[in-house]
Structure 1
Amino acid sequence: MEDEVERRQIEQILELDQEELQIEEVEGFLESSDDDRDTNGVASTEDFTFNTNLTSLHSYLGEVDDTRHRSAFWEGGAILNIPLFYLEGVVLFPEATLPLRVIQPRFIAAVNRAMNQADAPYTMGVVRVYRDSDNGPLRLAKIGTTAEIRQYRPVEDGTINVVTRGQQRFHLRRRWIDVEGAPCGEIQIIEEDVPFRTPRDAYAKLAPLSNLRSQQMPSLNASSLGGGNEENDSEANSEESFESELSQTERRIHQAAIGSSYESDRTDESLSSNDDDKLSESDDQSESPCLNDSSFILSSPSNHEKQIRNAGLGIGTKSMARKVSRPRSHPSRTVSRAFWPYWVYQMYDSYCLAQKAADLWKQIVGKPSMDGFVKKPDLLSFYIASKIPISEPTRQELLEIDVISCRLRREIELLERLDRIQCRICQTVIARRSDMLVMSSDGPLGAYVNAYGTVHEVMTFCKANGLALIGLPDKEYSWFPGYAWTIINCASCENHMGWLFTATNDKLKPKSFWGIRSCQVTDEMR
C-alpha cells in the first residue's frame, strides 16, 4: 500500500516538472497582501493545490533505496563508537528528517562505515559545528544526535545520497580519524527525562497544605491562609481537579506527601514557643526558607529543584511559607510545608506545559489538532524545537536541555515572544510570525540539501520584505516540486537570506513563497 502511494506521489512530481515555466513580475511578489490570511493572521491553506507530502519525499535527490533497517534504541548511559557527520548551520533533533548529499571523501567514508559496522549498523552521529565570529575557527558542539540511515543510493560520480532520521541525543566524549579518513567519535547516549503529571520529586517537597487544611483542618482556613471561603473552595476544587488527572500511582504518592505533611504539622503544634522564636529569627536571615533549608532536602538537588529555585518560587514570599521548627531528630519534619496552590504544580507539569505549547504552536502555524503530541510531551518538545523559526544557536540550546518541562518552558517563552523575523547582520525585519506558511508535511521549517552537499534549514513564509532577487528562476534541483527557485539577499546588507520559490504553472497555489535560512535570522524578538 505504501509503495502504491509513493508511486502516485512520484507521478505527481513528474507531471509538475513537465509544466512550462511561467514567472510573474517581481513587483507582484514584493507587494503586501492580506487576502490569503485567516482571521488569526495565519496564512490560509484553503486555496492550496500543492501537495505538501511531496516535499518530505526529497525527490530532488533522485532514486534512493529504503534500507529497510530500523536501529534499536540504546539505554541511557550506553557508550558507542560511531562515525560522525559535522554540519554547519544545522541542528538535528530526535524524530527529525535530515537529507544528505555526501560529496567530501571523509564523509563518504563515514557513511560507508556506518552502513557496514556491526555494533551500531546504519547509525552515525550528527554534530553541529559553529564559529564564534564570522572569521573565527570552527568549533564542535558537545551534544549531538544519532542519525539512522533510512534511504541510501550511491551516485555514478562517487557521491552518496542518503535520507536519515534523528534518533537519540548523545554527549561527544572524544573523537578521532580512522585509517580510512572517516571522522569517528566515542559517544554516550543521554538518558532522557520521563514526563510526569507533576514535576519529579515535587510531591514530598512542596506538599499543597492549602488543600489539606481545607479538607482536614477547616477551622484553620481563615487564620492560616487569610482568605475567604470562596477562595478556599475554589482552590480546593482546583486541587481535586488536579488529583483527578493523576494516575493511581501518582495519586498515592501525592496523598502520601500530604499525609506526611499533616503528621509533621501536628507534631509542630506541640513544640515550645522558644523553638518557634529561634526558627523565626533564622527565617528572617533567609529569603526562601522553604527551598533553601538544608534539613528538608532529602537528596541531592535534581534539575527540577534547581529550576524551581532559579524561578524564584518562595523568594520574597515569607507570608506564604509557614514558619515551623524542623529538628533533624524527627524524620517526618524533613518534609517541606508550603502553601503552594495547584497552578504552581502546573508550571512544571510536563503535560500542562505540552498543552500550552501546542496551543501556541497552532496559533502561529495554523496546524490541525496536536492531541497526539500533547500526550507525549517529550516528542512534542523535540518537534517544536526542530520547527520553530529561531536561530541555530538557540535551537542548539534547546537540544542541550535535559529536563522536558524546562525545554517546554523555554519553547513557550520563545513562542510567546516570537513576532518578527530579522536579518542576523543588519536586524532588518523581513517577515512576521503571521507570514509563516506550511509547505511541507514536516512543518514550516525543514532541512534540505543542495546539489553541492550543503544542508540548509529553511523556514517558509507567504510574504517577506526588504529582500532583493539575484539571478533568474531555476527549476533544477528544486526542493519543492513544481516550483522554481531564485536566490534572495538582504537588500540592506546583501546577506544571503534564502530563496524565492515561484510556481511553474498556473494550477499551483500558492503562486509564490519565500524560503528563509534559519542560520541567517536573529533571536532579537520583540
Structure 2
Amino acid sequence: MEDERRIISLVEYHMHDEDSESSDREDDGISSEGEIMAKGDKKSKNPNVSYDTSLPAQHTYLGNDLEELSGRTLLDDDSCQSLPLLPLPGIVLIPGQTLPLQLFEPSAVSMVKRIIEKDRTLGIVNQHQSPSADVACIGTTAEIRSYIERADEDIRLSTIRLKAEGRQRFQVIETRRQIDGVLMGKVRILPEITLDDPGEGARLHCLDRFRTLPLSTPEHMKVKEQGSIADSTLFKSLVRGKYDKFDFANYTRWPRWVYQQYDTHLLVQRIKQELEKWNCSVPADKVAKTPVDFSYWVAANLPLDDYKRLFLLGLNSDIQRLRCELSMLERYTVLCCRISSCNKDIINRCDVFSMSLEGLQGTYVNPSGYVHEIVTSYKACGLLLQNRSSTEQSWFPGYAWTIASCSGCGSHMGWKFTATKRKLQPQQFWGLCRAALRPALCSGREDEQWKPSF
C-alpha cells in the first residue's frame, strides 16, 4: 500500500481543453450600447507586427537621460537581511522582470537615494488593493539599474524615475515602520533548489556508449565542454538510436512516463508548444538560458492573478514551477473580468500576442506613479471606450491610448492603442491590466488549486 501511495503521488492528471465552437461576434464593431466587440476565433493567426518591439522595453517615456549604474548585488541564500520594502498594489515582481518606477513621496525618494549610495537593492512586495492592507509574506529583491532625479516645480519636491530588475526571492519574517515612514523588513533569501538526476543511482553506465542524447540537452553540452567530442564513443552513438536517457526506468518500480514528467528538458519543450496556442514565440535568448531562468520568464509572462503568481513565486524548485506553469497553460483558455459578480469574458488566449521583446506582458508606470502589468491582445470583447485618445507618455511610441472599461461592471480594464501612422502594424491593439483580469477554465469555473499556502 505504501508503494501504491508513492506511485499515485507522482502521477499528474491533466485537463485537456476541448475545442469550443466559435461564437459569431461583430469584428471591431460597436453595438447599440457602445460596447466594443471583437472575434475570439481560436484559429486566429498572429497579426503582422512591423512595430519595433524593442521600444516598449526601453521605457523611453521615463526619459533618455537616466544614469546607468554598474555592478551587481547578489545576496547569500538562506541569509537574513534587513531591506527597505516597497509595497505595490497589484504587482508581483518576478526575478528577471524589469520594473519601472516614478516616486514622488519624500520618504520614498530619500529611501531610494540611500539605497543607490549603498547596494542599490530594495524589496518589492505585493499589497492588496487597500492601502492599509497587509503585504504578502513573499517578495523579490529589486536592483536599481538606472535612475534620474528631477525637481518638480509644480509640487516643489524632487522626484525620482528609475528602472529596476527583479533579482532574488525572499520570505518576509517581520516588518516595522520607521519614523520617516519607510517600511523595513527582516527577510530570508530563498534558495533555488536543484534536484538531482533521479536515474543516477539506477542507470547502467556500461551502456553509455549506446546512449542517444539530443544536441540541446545539458548532458550533451557537458560532454561537448569536456572536449574530444568528435572522437568520443558517445558522440558516435548519437545517430544509432539504441539507448535513451530514460532507459533506467526498466530497473526501477516506476514506469518511464513518471520520470518524463519531472525532466526539465521535456517540460520546457511542452511549455513552448503550449505557448504557441497563446500566440507567443519564446525568444532565442530565453531558451538558451537555464531552466530556472526560463521558468521565471514564463511566470512573468503568464497573465495570472496575484494569488497564482504568488504561488509560483513561492516554489523553490524549477521543476515544480515548470510543472505548475504547464498545467496552468493547459487549463486556462480565456481571461475574464476579475470582479466575481461580473466574470465577463474579455480575451481569448489565442488573441494574446507580443508587442514587446519582454514577451506577452510588460510592466509600465504612468505619470502618477501607478505601476501596471499590461497584457497585449489584438482582439477583445465586452469593453467600453472612455474619453478621447492621447499620445502623452505613451508606453508604445507611435500609438495613442484610450481608456477602456468593462461593459458589465464598469471597472477599469486597460487601454486601446491606435497607431498614429498608417505604416505601423498592427493598426490597433489592446493593452489590458493583468490585475484587472482573471484566468478561467474552459468550463468557466474558477480554479482554487493554485491558492498560495503562506
Change (3 A) 1:372 1:104: closer
C-alpha separation in 1, matches of 2:254 and 2:212: 15
Q: Deviations over 1:68-93 (max 9, x none)?
A: 32323222112222221111101111
Instruction: Specify whether residues 243 and 504 from structure 1 end up closer, same or farther in structure 2 by C-alpha distance, changes over 3 A only.
Output: closer
Instruction: Please name the residue that 1:256 is paired with.
Output: none
Distance 1:375 1:112, change over 3 A: closer
Secondary structure of 1:144 counterpart: strand
How far does the alpha carbon of each residue in 1:208-246 deviate from its partner, in whole angstroms, 9 at most, with x for none? 8xxx8xx99xxxxxxxxxxxxxxxxxxx99x95589967
Give the Å deviation of 1:489.
0.7
- Which piece of structure 1 moves more, 102-111 or 440-449? 102-111
SS at match of 1:419: strand
Segments of structure 2 that go 5 or more residues without pairing to the other structure are: 1-27, 153-157, 224-248, 443-454
Q: Distance in 2 between matches of 1:246 and 1:496?
A: 46
Post-superposition offset of 1:166: 0.6
- 1:400-422: CA deviation from partner (whole Å, max 9, x where unpaired): 11121111110001111121111
The match for 1:101 is: 102
Distance (Å, rounded) in 2 between the aligned partners of 1:407 and 1:368 = 17
What's 2:165 paired with?
Answer: 165
Aligned pairs for 1:234-273 (under 5 A) are: 241=212, 247=219
2:385 to 455, 469, 484: 469
Structure 1 residues 241 and 359 mapped into 2: Cα distance closer, same or farther (>3 Å)?
Answer: same
Tell me the TM-score normalised to structure 2 length.
0.75
- Name the % identity: 33
1:176, CA displacement in angstroms? 2.2
Q: Does 1:149 align with 2:144?
A: yes
**Deviations 1:367-407 (CA, angstroms, capped at 9, x unpaired):** 15647526511001100000111212211111111121111
Taking structure 1 as the reference length, what is the TM-score of the superposition? 0.65
Alignment of 1:328-347 (within 5 A): 338-347=252-261
Give the Cα separation in 2 of the matches to 1:500 and 1:369: 26
CA contact (8 A) 1:361 1:415 kept: yes
Give the greater-gyration-radius structure (CA): 1
Amino acid at match of 1:172: V
8 Å CA contact 1:351, 1:375 repeated in 2: no
Conservation of the 8 A alpha-carbon contact between 1:84 and 1:110:
no
> How many Å separate the matches in 1 of 2:113 and 2:123?
13
For residues 81 and 50 of structure 2, the distance between their equivalents in structure 1, rounded to whole angstroms, comes to: 46
The whole-number CA distance in structure 2 between the counterparts of 1:503 and 1:195 is: 48
Residue-pair matches, total: 378
Residue 88 of structure 1 corresponds to 89
* Preserved CA contact (<8 Å) 1:64 1:161: no
Structure 2 residue 439 is matched with structure 1 residue 523: yes
Following the alignment from structure 2 to structure 1, what is the Cα–Cα distance between the partners of residues 314 and 65? 32
Displacement of 1:427: 0.9
Task: Specify the code of the residue in structure 1 equivalent to 2:83.
Answer: I
State the match for 1:483 in structure 2: 399
User: Which residue of 310, 313, 321 maps to 1:396?
Assistant: 310
Between the aligned partners of 1:151 and 1:410, the Cα distance in structure 2 is 34
Contact 2:102 2:367 in 1 (8 A): yes
Q: What is the CA-CA distance between 1:343 and the residue it aligns to? A: 1.9
| Structure number having the greater strand percentage | 2
Q: Where does residue 72 of structure 2 map in the other structure?
A: 71
The answer for unaligned runs of 5 or more in structure 1 is 1-24, 217-235, 252-320, 322-336
Asked whether 1:386 is paired with 2:300, we answer: yes
User: Which residue in 2 is equivalent to 1:362?
Assistant: 276
* 2:62 counterpart residue number: 61
Task: Specify the alignment match of 2:345 in structure 1.
Answer: 429
Query: How many Å separate the matches in 1 of 2:284 and 2:330?
Result: 18
1:447 equivalent in structure 2: 363
The secondary structure found in structure 1 opposite 2:123 is: strand
Secondary structure in structure 1 of the residue aligned to 2:86: strand
Q: What is the CA-CA distance between 1:154 and the residue it aligns to? A: 0.9
- Partner residue in 1 for 2:263: 349
Q: Deviations over 1:254-301 (max 9, x none)?
A: xxxxxxxxxxxxxxxxxxxxxxxxxxxxxxxxxxxxxxxxxxxxxxxx
**Which is richer in helix?**
1
Q: What is the CA-CA distance between 1:51 and the residue it aligns to?
A: 0.6
SS at match of 1:523: strand
Aligned residues of 1:358 and 1:370 also touching (Cα < 8 A): no
Query: Is 1:43 the counterpart of 2:38 in the alignment?
Result: no
